[in-house]
A and B are shown apart, each in its own frame.
Chain A
Amino acid sequence: KQEVTQIPAALSVPEGENLVLNCSFTDSAIYNLQWFRQDPGKGLTSLLLIQSSQREQTSGRLNASLDKSSGRSTLYIAASQPGDSATYLCAVPLGAGSYQLTFGKGTKLSVIP
């Protein structure tokens, strides 16, 4: 059974700082890995999708890396802004070709002005 863990559960940083969020998964045979952002009381916004054949994906100030062999992914946020404050979730499919996701519990990020 796939288990996804995110550390830390919460993180508070001053504005402008670069930061890294961590995600680990127990079964390295993943199809892809997706990072989401969730604002309080809202749904999920897809940030980055990394296919199993890729090592990283970039979108603006966000960079996600994937190391399947070690069962880890990181989300790097450069020059953090107060608007980045949210809960960040990583998720992996249950199996190849499956759209059913196993989610981590998330990291709640607070960027202090």
Chain B
Amino acid sequence: GAVVSQHPSWVICKSGTSVKIECRSLDFQATTMFWYRQFPKQSLMLMATSNEGSKATYEQGVEKDKFLINHASLTLSTLTVTSAHPEDSSFYICSAAGTWGTGELFFGEGSRLTVL
């Protein structure tokens, strides 16, 4: 299957700093990528849809100025958590849709963010 890679897999930062998480489709082009947040023992919550070359679409309740998303190429989307606070600590997962139109989504390994 297609491979989606996330980096870093875990990061610890101080409150008030910004953290960037990368999501790459390694062997396919992805015009659309998605960012999710997952709390312990909960399912995935969609945060935003990232479209290559255009602005991301955010879900209701997600602060676009806090969670900056950039999708500058067909293989890379980045999520930047700005002015991080302890409540932003979570597991962030990205997914990408292939261009072959089957509707199948492929997910990254996830990034564990801990804000001290």
Residues of A within 8 A of B (CB): 31-32, 34, 36, 41-46, 49, 51, 89, 93, 97, 99-101, 103-106
Sample of 7 A–B contacts (CB below 8 Å)? A43-B6, A43-B109, A44-B44, A44-B93, A51-B102, A97-B103, A100-B46
A65 and B97 alpha carbons, distance in the complex (Å): 23
On chain B, the residues within 8 Å of A32 by CB distance are 102-104
B43 touching A103 by the CB < 8 A rule?
Answer: yes
B104 touching A46 by the CB < 8 A rule?
Answer: yes
Residues of B within 8 A of A (CB): 1, 4, 6, 32, 34, 42-44, 46, 49, 91, 93, 95, 97, 102-110, 112
B43 touching A44 by the CB < 8 A rule?
Answer: no
A46 touching B106 by the CB < 8 A rule?
Answer: yes
Given A99-B97, A104-B43, A106-B43, A45–B107 Cβ distance below 8 Å?
yes
On chain B, the residues within 8 Å of A49 by CB distance are 102-104
B34 touching A46 by the CB < 8 A rule?
Answer: no
On chain A, the residues within 8 Å of B91 by CB distance are 41
B103 touching A36 by the CB < 8 A rule?
Answer: no
Q: Which of these, B6, B44, B49, B110, contacts A103 with CB under 8 Å?
A: B44
A100 and B45 alpha carbons, distance in the complex (Å): 11
* Nearest chain B CB to A62 CB, angstrom units: 14
* Nearest chain B CB to A75 CB, angstrom units: 16
Look across to chain B and name the residue whose beta carbon is closest to the beta carbon of A105: B43
Q: Which of these, B42, B102, B104, B109, contacts A42 with CB under 8 Å?
A: B109
A43 and B110 alpha carbons, distance in the complex (Å): 5
On chain B, the residues within 8 Å of A103 by CB distance are 43-44
On chain B, the residues within 8 Å of A42 by CB distance are 109-110
A44 and B109 alpha carbons, distance in the complex (Å): 7
A101 and B1 alpha carbons, distance in the complex (Å): 19
